[in-house]
Amino acid sequence: MAKAQASIDPEQLEPMEARLVATLPDGEGWQFEPKWDGFRCIALRDGNDVEIISKSGKSLARFFPEVVEMLRRPGTRHFVLDGELILPIGDILSFEALQARLHPAASRIERLSRETPARFMLFDCLRAGDDVLFDQPLSARRTTLEAFYRHERSPGLLLSPRTSDGQLARAWLDHSGGALDGVVAKRLDDRYQSGERAMVKVKQHRTADCVVGGFRYATSGRHVGSLLLGLYDDKGLLNHVGFTSGIAKDERAALTGRLEALIEPPGFTGKAPGGPSRWSTERSAEWQPLRPELVVEVTYDQVTGARFRHGTRLNRWRPDKAPRQCRMDQLRHELRPAELAEMIDLPAPA
- Output the 3-class SS for the chain: CEECCCCCCHHHHCCCEEEECCCCCCCCCEEEEECCCCEEEEEEEECCEEEEEECCCCECHHHCHHHHHHHCCCCCCEEEEEEEEECEECCEECHHHHHHCCCCCHHHHHHHHHHCCCEEEEEEEEEECCEECCCCCHHHHHHHHHHHHHHHCCCCEEECCCECCHHHHHHHHHHCCCCCCEEEEEECCCCCCCCCEEEEEEECCEEEEEEEEEEEECCCCCCEEEEEEEEECCCCCEEEEEEECCCCHHHHHHHHHHHHCCECCCCCCCCCCCCCCCCCCHHHHCCEEECCCCEEEEEECCECCCCECCCEEEEEECCCCCHHHCEHHHCCCCCCHHHHHHHCCCCCCC
User: Do 242 and 200 lie in a common domain?
Assistant: no
**pLDDT higher at 225 or 340:** 225
Question: Radius of gyration over alpha carbons of the chain, in Å?
Answer: 23
> Residue 316, Cα to own-chain centre: how many angstroms?
25
Boundary-marking domain end, from 204, 226, 258: 204
Which residue in 289, 185, 173 sits closest to 228, CA to CA? 289
Q: CA-CA distance, 5 to 204, in Å (whole number)?
A: 41
Q: Are residues 161 and 112 in the same domain?
A: yes
Q: Do the domain assignments include residue 342?
A: no
Q: pLDDT tens, 270-307? A: 999 975 443 344 444 589 999 999 999 999 887 887 88
Q: Which residue type, as a one-letter code, is found at position 147?
A: A
Asked if 103 and 95 count as a contact pair (C-beta separation under 8 A), the reply is no
> Is residue 53 located within the same domain as residue 175?
yes
Q: Which residues constitute the domain of residue 325? A: 206-330
Distance from the Cα of residue 5 to its chain's centroid: 34
Q: Are 58 and 41 in contact (CB under 8 A)?
A: no
CATH code for position 304: 2.40.50.140
Q: What is the C-alpha separation between 329 and 206, in angstroms, rounded?
A: 13
Listed residues 175, 204, 233: the one ending a domain: 204
Regarding whether 222 and 116 lie in a shared domain, the answer is no
pLDDT for residue 240: 97
Is 336 contained in some domain? Answer: no
Cα distance between residue 246 and residue 226, in whole Å: 8
Residue 44 has pLDDT above 90, yes or no: yes
Same domain flag for 113 and 240 = no
Indicate whether 111 and 171 sit together in one domain: yes
pLDDT for the residue numbered 336: 58
Span 196-217, average pLDDT: 92
As annotated, the active-site residues are 35
Q: Is the pLDDT of residue 105 over 60?
A: yes
196 within some domain: yes
Report the predicted TM-score, pTM, of the whole model to 2 decimal places: 0.74
Structural domain includes residue 340: no
Of 151, 175, 204, the last residue of a domain is: 204
Angstrom CA distances, 45 to 62, 87, 161, 209, 230, stand at 15, 21, 23, 47, 46
Q: Are residues 200 and 212 in the same domain?
A: no
Whether residue 211 sits in one domain with residue 200 = no
Cα 7 to Cα 332: distance, rounded to the nearest angstrom: 43
For residues 102 and 12, state if they share a domain. Answer: yes
Distance of CA 105 to the CA centre of its chain: 25
Rounded Cα distance between 12 and 137, Å, is 16
346, pLDDT greater than 50: no
Query: What's the average model confidence in pLDDT over 43-53?
Result: 94
In a domain, residue 222? The reply is yes
User: pLDDT, tens digit, for every residue of 149-194?
Assistant: 999 888 889 999 999 999 999 888 877 655 567 899 999 999 999 9
Distance CA 124, CA 115 (A): 28
As a whole number of angstroms, the distance between CA 2 and CA 331 comes to: 48
Assigned domain for 12 exists: yes
Q: What percentage of the chain reaches a pLDDT higher than 90? A: 63
